[in-house]
Every structure is written in C-alpha cells, then in structure tokens.
Amino acid sequence: MNKGHSVLYFMLIPGIVLVLIFNYLPMGGLVLAFQNYKPWLGIFGSDWVGMEHFRALFSREDSLQVIWNTFVIAGMKIIVGLVVPVLFAILLNEIRQMGLKRAVQTLVYLPHFMSWVILGGILLDLLSSRGLFNDVILPMFGIGPIPFLTDGDWFRFVVIASDTWKEFGFSTIVFLASLAGINPALYEAAEVDGATRFKQTLHITLPSMVPIIVVVGTLSLGSILNAGFDQIFNLYNALVYDKGDIIDTYVYRVGILSSQFSFASAVGLFKSVIGFILIVIAYRLAYKFANYRIF
C-alpha cells in the first residue's frame, strides 16, 4: 500500500461500509430460500426444506411465465437499445453545425436523468384509457382507443419503446466516442475515390464501430434478467401480469405483498446465480471477439 495515497484510501471507507451493509450483509438472508421461514420463529427456528422452493419455481405456471417475460422484455430492450444508439450516433455525427449538434445531444440526454416515478406518471396520463392519446390524438385520425396499458402485447411495446426513448441518448455517448477515434484520412481517401456519404458510412464508419458494438452487446447479456423493476412497477397492473410481470416485480408481489418470504428468496437467488453465469460468459465473449477485459 502506497503511504502517499493514505488519504485516498481513507476516502474509500464510507463507500466500502455502504457496500458491506447493503450488498453483503443481506446475503445472509439467502438461507431463507432453503427454509420454510416463519417470521415468529426466525431463521434459526424455521424448518429446513432443502430444494423444495426451487422445485416449486420450475413447476408453478406463473413463475415460468415470469421468467419467460423477463427474457423477452430484457432481450428486446438490449437489441433495440443497441441498434437505436448506433444509428443515432451515426446521424448525429453527420451534423456539422456544432451549436445544433450540442443542442440535440442535450435534449436526448435529459430523459436519462429523470426517474421512472416521474416518467411513469407522464406515460399513465398520456396512454391510459382516458389519456391524451386515446381521448384527443387518436380520434383526430379516426382511430379507436388502443389499450396501451391494459393489453399485454401493447404493454410490452410501451415498456420497450419508453425505455429506449429514455436511455438511447445517454447510450449514444460511447458510440460517439468511437466515431471520434476514426482516422479522418480514411474518409478523405474514400471521398477522393468517389464514395458517397452513405458508402463511407457503410464501409468505414460501421466497420470501425464493430469492436465497441460487440463489447456493449456482449456485456449487456449480463443484465438480461434485469428487465427494469422501476419502470414496470410504475406502469403495470393486474391486467398485464401475463405478459408484463418480470422476476423483480414477481418477487416483490410474492415476497412482500403475499409474505411468501422463502419462495421469493428462492426466485431471487435463482436470478442472481443465472445473472452471475451470464456476466462471466459475457466477459469471456467480449475478450474473445473484441479483446476487451477489465482485469
């Protein structure tokens, strides 16, 4: 340990304490997943049931549907959330007026810093059965009401579209950075050869962005079981549980609202184990295809 950095090490203490309290100490509660936990008996007085809750997890129809919903919603978020920022970064890079470019960047970055509590309330006002879209905008085009928040398929569309709108501007930053690293001489040579802007994009810009696209895409696999608790919790309702309920909201409903603490712990542990495996695989893929590594 470098003694000259002792002040910096001391500054780490509050962060380490917070991580220990909120991330590591609660891991002791994972023992509930293997017990028939009764709050009045406590952890040491509750009966052990082994893998019973995990067998129930894969035999209950609602839990299997929740796992499928999580993969579908998170997978679509990853795909759309990767394609849109790449295309937007390329288009934004074509703007030559710096003032306009910075104004557009600022506008698309802003939603990232707004919480889903605020955005959820806005979306509920816009898309509910008596909201702005169904009451005012759609009738102007002769279109009947659309059940955005009460039909499962439409709900998935709203979740994916709103998440993309919120995050694509912020996600664009890394792709703009990769564009800034492309050698301008490549574009100059292509222009001399008569290549149009579209061909320059197709044969220079996109191939140069492939490594960072691979890195972002593969690392996103580690979060495929995180379909967005904050967003869905603020938007969903009982009518869309069959298509919109995900693991995190399911754990909340089963564990907190229904007091099935042991079963909820088993579902949460299952998610954590699968998530850890996917993160390891994602880093392996990122190192193999893009030579990216942290350690």
SS (H, E, C) 237-273: CHHHHHHHCCHHHHHHHHHHHCCCHHHHHHHHHHHHH
Give the pLDDT of residue 227. 81
pLDDT at 137 over 80: yes
Amino acid 284 reads: R
Q: Average pLDDT, stretch 146-173?
A: 90
Tokens at 104, concatenated: 């557009």
Tell me the mean pLDDT in the region 190-200: 85
Asked whether the predicted pLDDT for residue 4 surpasses 80, the reply is: no
Check pLDDT > 60 for residue 1: no
The pLDDT value given to residue 292: 65
Domains defined for the chain, CATH in brackets: 50-290 (1.10.3720.10)
Note the pLDDT of residue 86. Answer: 92
Q: Is the pLDDT of residue 3 over 70?
A: no
Q: What pLDDT, on a 0 to 100 scale, did the predictor assign at position 294?
A: 60
What mean pLDDT do residues 210-226 have?
A: 81
Question: Locate tokens 């816009």: which residue?
Answer: 126
Q: Write down the pTM of the prediction.
A: 0.86
Q: Residue 47 is inside which H or E element, if any?
A: strand 47-48
Q: What is the per-residue pLDDT for 94?
A: 83
What lies within 8 Å, CB to CB, of 173 at 6+ separation is none
Asked whether the beta carbons of 105 and 286 are under 8 A apart, the reply is no
pLDDT of residue 293: 66
What is the Cα–Cα distance from 221 to 278, expressed in whole angstroms?
Answer: 6
Q: At what angle do helices 98-109 and 152-180 cross, to 10 degrees?
A: 140
Query: pLDDT at residue 250 above 80?
Result: yes
Using a pLDDT cut of 70, give the percent of the chain over it. Answer: 97
What is the pairing mode between strands 35-36 and 47-48?
antiparallel
Distance CA 31, CA 27 (A): 8
What pLDDT, on a 0 to 100 scale, did the predictor assign at position 50? 87
> Bridge partners of 249?
none
pLDDT 10s digits, 44-78 = 888 888 889 889 888 888 888 999 999 999 989 99
Q: What pLDDT is attached to residue 2?
A: 61
In percent, the amount of the chain with pLDDT more than 90 equals 17
Instruction: Give me the amino acid identity at 66.
Output: V
Q: What is the mean pLDDT of residues 128-149?
A: 86
| Residue 284 pLDDT | 81
* pLDDT value of position 143: 84
